[in-house]
Chain A
Amino acid sequence: MSVEKQIEDAASAPVLAVHDLRKKFAETTALDGVSFEVRPHEVVGLIGENGAGKSTLLKMLVGLAQPDSGSIELRGKRVKMRGIAQAGAAGIGMVFQEQSLIPNLTVAENILFGAEGAAVVGGVYRWKELRRRAQVQLDKIGSKIKIDAITEELTFAERQLVEVAKVLATEERTNAEPVVLLDEPTSVLDRDETEVLFAQIERLRTRASVVFVSHRLDEVLRVSDRVYVLRNGKTVAECVPGDVDEAALRRMMIGRDLEGSHYGEEDQLPVREEVRLSVRGLSIKGVCEDIDLDVHVGEILGIAGVQGSGREELCRGIFGALATRGSMTLDGRPIKPGSPRTAISADIGFVPAERRREGMVGSMSVAENITLPHIGEVCAGPVLQRGKERRLADEWIERLSIRTPSASAPLGSLSGGNQQKAVLARWMVSDSLKLLILDHPTRGLDVGAKSEVYRLIRELTASGVSVLLMADSLEELIAMSHRVLVMKDGRVTDVIDARAGDKPAPVTVLERMI
């Protein structure tokens, strides 16, 4: 875009103007005065901790929630959104964090879903017209996704592009350029896919305005023209990326300085001599081959790799959740974890990335979740000793400062950070824990909760537990790890030293990943 055009756009009236939105749920104030503007062809970044009000705000923009007071103006006209369909008809579309496509329909059907127009006559699909219209949308973003592909067969990144195309389809209906809301679009993308998405955003802005919501401050700084910071339901700052850095944004988000460094690098102790886990020639059919690795006592071994590098499967294989060939020793003794059950009895723990599906039972209490894999400790034969369980849970709730009304509150009702602490407590309960495998332990957590989890991991390793870590970002991975094992296409390409005070640059690791 030319400089003149930018100046002209900046001066023009906002496409979307939100003024002093307020919303109360029962006793909590979700929004406490949010105002912001989006101008034509602008990418606006929106950041804030979990609970700062980002999701409530987005929901209001697409009519999934109603403000108590305040106004939303679209192209100068005050609007009241009553649902996604109406928002779409007005030209605001959201690309959801949990995707909103119907998995068993084709891409074409999804793009035009609910707004088929002339592609459906009297309830009958006109496939040719449907394909043509959908293809127009995909062409706008220059995507080569096949229009007849079944949506569930696409990768996450591809599905995301389909959602973008779906939002762009509002353009024809409204005869105006749409506003595209991207809710944490990069949270599950790897680096390559993220780059592709950023290129798309650049392309998108020539025909739309974009609101970009993300936890990742570096990304927000990179793609946005302006950034709004939300804190406790208020817009507390508006800034231009050139004037601020990540640290400044982080301060604005939490309203204070984080004590010490975010990742607690100064607490990283030198690795001890003894090898805890030794893996030799481990292979998983069709995924990875001939993996050798050693983890020392008290060491955090980071595993880097893009999606499809086989690192997730490797970790599941070590935990016995996938069938493997090869040999493993734990503290010098050979082990053969054929199932998670045997791995657990060998004192290996695993925290999966998908907390809601694999990490916890939301409907069960905090206490019940904590004792799940070690129920034997609070059992006499088949009989549970609930008093003992309760005391154990209370002890850990206190020790890890888990914020919960009580040990019997359903875990699903806690905030993400507190849920994750309970999930970690599950393994920490065992005094004999030797190795903990952490698959993206901070995914979806806000900054404050993240640094608590980091500290917890540091404490664990200080007490001699070894950790295999897969992290959300390379920065996090390098900062946390003693060494970084790099995987590519199912093989180990490098092991990079990452001692405290001598951390490698992310690009060094990245080079070995791709």
Chain B
Amino acid sequence: MAAARLGLAPPETGRADARTRRRAHSTLLADFGPFGALVLLCVIFSLLSPQFATWGNVRNILDSAAVLGVIAVGLTFVLLLGAIDLSIEGVMATAAISVALLVANSRNDIDLGFIGIVAAVALGACFGLASGMLSTGLKIPSFMTTLGMSAIGIGIATVLFAGVQPSLRSPELAEWASGQWLGLTRLTFVALGVVVVGLLIQRYTRLGRYARAIGGAEELAVLSGIPVRRYKTIAFTFAGAVYGLAGVMVTIQLGSGIVQAGVGQNFAAITAAVVGGTLLSGGRGGVLHSIVGVLIVTVLVNGLVLIGVSPYVQKAVQGVIVVVAVAITAWPLRQRLRVVK
């Protein structure tokens, strides 16, 4: 095309500028609001408890955020699409039991070592693939397909569990997992690795870009020739693999595979993502947002324990704070969220 001929004079005025700035303002708040909330929480807890701001406690927080952090990275991509994933508990259950049965364990003579771990992660990916293919192929809302996959996962895990808990009998694995670096467990570094991979995928790959485009305006994505179904399925598959890894991590932490490996994690992960500013309506947010959310949720639990809130009321206090945090972080986006169902 004759590009040189396309030089157009701009008779536009500067009207758009202030509007742009104002919107940029509100996006800024949506992006950095959760981070501000995290900082605020830390300051409050430091003032209330002398133990909070110690290196030991920071390590504590990071170590206990590891599993949820990994889950949140996977979930983020599904949420960016504007879909939801309720299969986390089921996928983690199956992955937890299968990894416990595939590495050296108390139930059988199989000892695949590292390959066992890879197999468990791959199993998770299969679950995600199934969720994705069912959602896109049969056009069933992801809400239903993933809920179904969760039940299937728990079912499979219960069958494999067969009433006898498989304990890990792998000295190498135990030694590796108990090892520390810079005072943090190795699993925390695994989580950090997943976060970095997630960030790179989000920022530097088609998957990340397309996920945002699909969540932002699916019709446009179709009209732009993006293979929407394929990328939705890829996102679910990636998420499934990551949940599988989370199941493996829990198993290593516990030293045995249990069906309840992922109990409560689905709700926690969605909460973390939303608190961090990843919208359930899709298109906005990202890995970093969700991780800030994970830290907020973890700091909250940790801080409440440290300042001596009775365990009986902790859950309620958590709930209140989560709702308040969401209300604050979603404030700049309230126009968009005005119709909330």
- Number of CB contacts from chain A to chain B under 8 A: 157
Name which of A25, A401, A412, A417 has the most chain B CB atoms within 10 A of its CB: A401
Contact B18–A25 (Cβ < 8 Å): yes
Say whether A357 contacts B8, CB under 8 Å.
no
Instruction: Provide the bound-state CA to CA distance between A345 and B209, in Å.
Output: 20
Cα-based distance from A90 to B17 in the complex (angstroms): 36
Find out whether the CB atom of A455 lies under 8 angstroms from the CB atom of B8: yes
| Residue in B2, B11, B209, B212 whose CB lies within 8 Å of A452 | B11
Bitwise, A376-394 to B at CB < 8 A (1) or not (0) is: 0001001110100000000
Tell me the residues in window 374-425 of chain A with beta carbons closer than 8 Å to chain B beta carbons: 375, 379, 382-384, 386, 399-401, 403-405, 409-410, 412-415, 417-418
Contact A26 B6 (CB under 8 A): no
**Interface size bucket, A side?**
35 or more
- The reply on A372 being an interface residue by CB < 8 A is yes
Decide if A284 is an interface residue (CB 8 Å cutoff).
no
Give the chain B neighbours of A448 by CB distance below 8 A.
11-12
Partner of B6, one of A25, A321, A343, A428: A428
A28 within 8 A of B: yes
How many Å lie between the Cα of A24 and that of B104 in the bound state? 71
**CB-CB < 8 A to A363: which residues of B?**
212, 216, 283-284
Residues of the B chain whose Cβ atoms lie less than 8 Å from the Cβ of A414 = 16, 20
Selected interface stretch from A67-75, A153-161, A244-252, A459-467: A459-467
Q: Please name the residue on chain B nearest to A411 by beta carbon.
A: B216
Interface readout for B193-217 with A: 1 if CB under 8 Å, 0 if not?
Answer: 0000000000111111100110011
Q: With the chains together, A383 CA to B212 CA distance in Å?
A: 16
Query: Once the chains bind, are A372 and B2 in contact (CB under 8 Å)?
Result: no
Using an 8 Å CB-CB cutoff, how does the interface string of A1-40 with B read, 1 for contact, 0 for none? 0000000000000000000000001111000000000000
A354–B218 Cα distance when bound, in Å, is: 13
Once the chains bind, are A463 and B24 in contact (CB under 8 Å)?
Answer: no
B213 partner, pick from A25, A361, A460, A463, beta carbons under 8 A: A361
Whether A204 sits at the interface, judged by CB under 8 Å, is no
State which of A373, A384, A428 has its C-beta within 8 Å of the C-beta of B205: A384
Q: Answer whether A368 and B209 are a contact pair too, CB < 8 Å, given A25-B18, A28-B15, A463-B1.
A: yes
Out of A375, A383, A409, A464, name the residue touching B1 (CB < 8 Å): A464
B18 CB contacts on chain A under 8 angstroms: 25-28
A350 in the interface (beta carbon within 8 A): yes
Interface residue? B10 (CB, 8 A): yes
Please, which residues of chain A bring their CB within 8 A of the CB of B341?
none
User: Which residues on A sit within 8 Å (CB–CB) of B204?
Assistant: 383-384, 386
Nearest neighbor of B213 in chain A, beta-carbon distance: A361
Q: Which of B10, B24, B223 contacts A413 (CB 8 A)?
A: B24
* Residues in A45-75 with C-beta less than 8 Å from chain B: 51
Shortest distance between the CB of B22 and any CB in chain A (Å): 6
Residue of B nearest to A421 (CB): B8
Checking A361, A404, A413, A449 against B220 with a beta-carbon cut-off of 8 angstroms, the contacting residue is A361
Please tell me if the beta carbons of A413 and B1 are within 8 angstroms of each other in the complex: no
In whole angstroms, how far apart are the Cα atoms of A482 and B12 in the complex? Answer: 28
- Once the chains are docked, how many angstroms separate the CA of A204 from the CA of B155? 66
Contact of A415 among B12, B208, B219, B225 (CB under 8 A): B12
B11 to chain A: closest CB distance in Å?
A: 5
Mark out the residues of chain B between 54 and 75 whose CB falls within 8 Å of any chain A CB in the assembled complex: none
Among residues of B, the one whose C-beta sits closest to the C-beta of A341 is B225
Q: Which residue of chain A is the closest to B217 with respect to CB atoms?
A: A361
Which chain B residue has the least Cβ–Cβ distance from A417? B12
| Shortest CB distance B75–A (Å) | 19
A358 touches B7 (CB 8 A): no
Q: A25-B22, A413-B19 are in contact. Are A462 and B5 (CB under 8 A)?
A: yes
Bound form: Cα–Cα A459–B8 in Å:
10
CA distance A415 to B19 in the complex (A): 9
- Interfacial chain A residues near B17, Cβ < 8 Å: 27-28, 403, 405
A-side contacts of B21, CB under 8 Å: 26-27, 405
- Bits for A293-328, please: 1 = Cβ < 8 Å to B, else 0: 000000000000000000000000001010000000
**How many Å lie between the Cα of A403 and that of B10 in the bound state?**
8
CA distance A462 to B27 in the complex (A): 40
Contact B19 A28, beta carbon cutoff 8 Å = yes
Which one of B207, B219, B220 has the greatest number of beta carbons of chain A within 10 Å? Answer: B220
Query: Which residues of B in the span 20-61 have a Cβ within 8 Å of any Cβ on A?
Result: 20-24, 27
B317 at the interface (CB under 8 A from A): no
- A344: CB under 8 A from chain B? yes
Measured between beta carbons, the chain A residues less than 8 angstroms from B216 are 361-364
Is A335 in the interface zone, CB < 8 Å from B? no
B222 contacts the other chain (CB 8 A): yes
Instruction: Write out the residue numbers on chain B whose beta carbons fall within 8 Å of the beta carbon of A373.
Output: 224-226
Please give the distance in Å from A263's CB to the nearest CB on chain B. 15
Closest to A403 in B: B12
- A504 lies within 8 A of chain B by Cβ: no
B162 at the interface (CB under 8 A from A): no
The CA-CA distance from A402 to B1 in the complex, in Å, is 19
From B282, which residue of chain A is reached at the shortest CB distance?
A363
Say yes or no: is B319 at the interface (Cβ < 8 Å to chain A).
no
A502: CB under 8 A from chain B? no
A420 to chain B, nearest CB (A): 12
CA distance A345 to B219 in the complex (A): 18
Q: Which residue of A lies closest to B216 (CB)?
A: A361
Q: Name the B residues within 8 Å of A375 (CB-CB).
A: 206, 209
User: Is A456 located at the chain interface by the 8 A CB criterion?
Assistant: yes
- The reply to whether B203 and A386 contact each other, CB–CB distance below 8 Å, is yes
Instruction: Find out whether the CB atom of B1 lies under 8 angstroms from the CB atom of A431.
Output: yes
CB-CB under 8 A for A456 and B8, given A340-B225, A361-B283: yes
Q: Is the CB–CB distance between A401 and B12 below 8 Å?
A: yes
Chain B residues positioned under 8 Å from A350 (CB to CB): 223
Provide a sorted-by-A list of 24 A–B residue pairs whose CB atoms are within 8 angstroms. A25-B22, A51-B13, A51-B16, A341-B225, A352-B223, A357-B219, A361-B216, A361-B220, A362-B216, A362-B217, A368-B209, A368-B213, A375-B209, A399-B7, A401-B8, A403-B10, A413-B16, A413-B24, A449-B12, A452-B8, A455-B8, A460-B1, A463-B1, A463-B5
Q: Which residues from chain A sit less than 8 Å from chain B, CB to CB?
A: 25-28, 51, 319, 321, 339-341, 343-345, 350, 352, 354, 357-364, 368, 372-373, 375, 379, 382-384, 386, 399-401, 403-405, 409-410, 412-415, 417-418, 426, 428, 431, 433, 448-449, 452, 455-456, 459-460, 462-465
Apart from A319-B223, A418-B16, 19 more pairs, CB < 8 Å: A321-B222, A341-B227, A352-B220, A357-B217, A357-B220, A359-B220, A361-B212, A362-B216, A363-B212, A364-B216, A372-B220, A383-B204, A405-B21, A405-B24, A412-B23, A413-B20, A428-B1, A459-B5, A462-B5
Instruction: List 8 tightest A-B contacts by C-beta distance, closest first.
Output: A361-B216, A401-B10, A28-B18, A344-B225, A373-B224, A413-B23, A341-B225, A415-B16
